[in-house]
Structure 1
């Protein structure tokens, strides 16, 4: 069901199935396409994620990320093409799910069960979990396991899903916006768990809107836009997407566009008012700030643009 722990639920059903096929990529899609009526949600996706890799899956809302994950999980069938999990057709969900654990973007739990009861239920459904590691994660994430899930906040429901998935220790972790609702301290704990998972050789497929999170943990990223894969990049290429917007106010008239455009790292510049300009920077802001300081700068504000804004900057057109 949408928003449920279906990935964690199904994944543990097949005892005795080998947990890794080393000769096969963890994820491979071949011409994977999904249409809903006249709408093309995913268009001929060809993608390969190696075993042991942390792969980030980026894109603005409506790009097709959730559709891709639902296809990988076998929750929907492709219009054409196929998705493979360690060489197993994702449509054969009972077998394929024995190799993965899933954390959905919107976690729904049984409201009358406690957190401990949900974790025990998920661990007992099949291949089980590392219970010692699960208990450690409950403590590390600060989960109150004796509370009923109906009283949990979004962040606490997310903690239950993460604990269940990490304790599962499946060869592939499919994580869809996994830090939704977590505070910064818990986000750091999540990243520590990812490092532990990759040290054990697990593969991570991470869908996220948070560019900083993806940059911190991923080896490579795939960038999806309007249902199409527009780029697969390593971290060096990803860093060019890191932009900063500076709004600078001057005591008198702001510098003209020609002078601003000549500053190293300035991707674009626009006039807000006679005394205020907005700059989009790539790379360190130091050169721009040094330049602006010589022109009677009296105030500056900085922000990181949203992923949607960054996509518009680099790929143009609609972000959806």
Structure 2
């Protein structure tokens, strides 16, 4: 069995008496997009800094591409592409100069892939980075992270500042990356983006991982939603007796409900009440994520 790109075993990072990361254990499989989610202050960035060797854990271990980041051996970083949540680049240099310098450091001799990424994202390489907007700086940051085709990408809020079309382009790039056998750790607040591109998700809250599961499994836990409209007053209390159904709101002529499991019994019960309109939508992970995010504001990062 191959060594997973990322493996954490009871990783803990404390600042004084406060544990920013508290016994986190998780494994990121090879060739997947792994979503790493949590509200501000949940411990995402601290965990990432431990993975990169920027912080040394208080206890527990981290293994990245088979190496221990805490040992000071930086060799594994040659195979890691990193985009921080707060991107800082030399303001006085143009993007072309920064890409050339990073390319020499990373040993990128063939620039065809980097050039293709520049064209793909419309990155402006001609002007000093200090005069660029956040979105245009982010384009350069994405090229820097991907240009060496690293085995592992660690991306913290990578689509911040990008317009919707470029966000779609980024999603396509992630799919190409994992199809090539490489791995992505994607830390993001964009829940819609994550559920579209990730294979597996871990949710961290107050320094602890509270969920670690596949997207498909998580989606199966979330109730579907249905809104039913009538042209007459109707008693919808009978719908609450249908297995798997929860009535979330009701008026004399409308009812909103969630259901899990087979839709057949729900449709039969609704049809008996003679509705004029039925609107249903698939399960969305927002409901599940926000349930774990709730009441976490103000916790330390």
The equivalent residue for 1:227 is: 207
1:1-320 to 2 correspondences below 5 Å: 23-91=2-70, 92=72, 94-128=74-108, 130-240=110-220, 258-259=237-238, 261=240, 267=246, 269-270=248-249, 291=270, 307=286, 310-313=288-291, 315=292, 318-320=295-297
Q: By how many angstroms is 1:203 displaced? A: 1.2
Residues 222 and 285, structure 2, Cα contact 8 Å, conserved in 1: no
Q: By how many angstroms is 1:233 displaced? A: 1.1
CA distance in 1, matches of 2:116, 2:262: 39
Please list the CA deviations of residues 257-292 of structure 1 after superposition, one character each: whole Å capped at 9, or x if unmatched: x45645787556146x8887765666999968x949
Residues 130 and 168, structure 1, Cα contact 8 Å, conserved in 2: no
CA distance in 2, matches of 1:270, 1:45: 38
Please give the secondary structure, in 2, of the residue aligned with 1:88: coil
Q: By how many angstroms is 1:52 displaced? A: 2.2
Are the structure 2 counterparts of residues 235 and 299 from structure 1 closer, same or farther at C-alpha, using a change threshold of 3 Å?
Answer: closer
Aligned length: 294
Are the structure 2 counterparts of residues 110 and 316 from structure 1 closer, same or farther at C-alpha, using a change threshold of 3 Å?
Answer: closer
Deviates more, 1:166-175 or 1:147-156: 147-156
Please list the CA deviations of residues 176-213 of structure 1 after superposition, one character each: whole Å capped at 9, or x if unmatched: 12111211211121122112222222111111223332
Are the structure 2 counterparts of residues 223 and 285 from structure 1 closer, same or farther at C-alpha, using a change threshold of 3 Å?
Answer: farther
State the TM-score, normalizing by the size of structure 1.
0.76
Residues 157 and 188, structure 2, Cα contact 8 Å, conserved in 1: yes
CA distance in 2, matches of 1:139, 1:242: 39
- For structure 2, the residue ranges without an aligned partner over 5 or more in a row are none
RMSD: 3.6
State the TM-score, normalizing by the size of structure 2.
0.80
- For structure 1, the residue ranges without an aligned partner over 5 or more in a row are 1-21
Please list the CA deviations of residues 22-51 of structure 1 after superposition, one character each: whole Å capped at 9, or x if unmatched: 842111111101122332221111112222
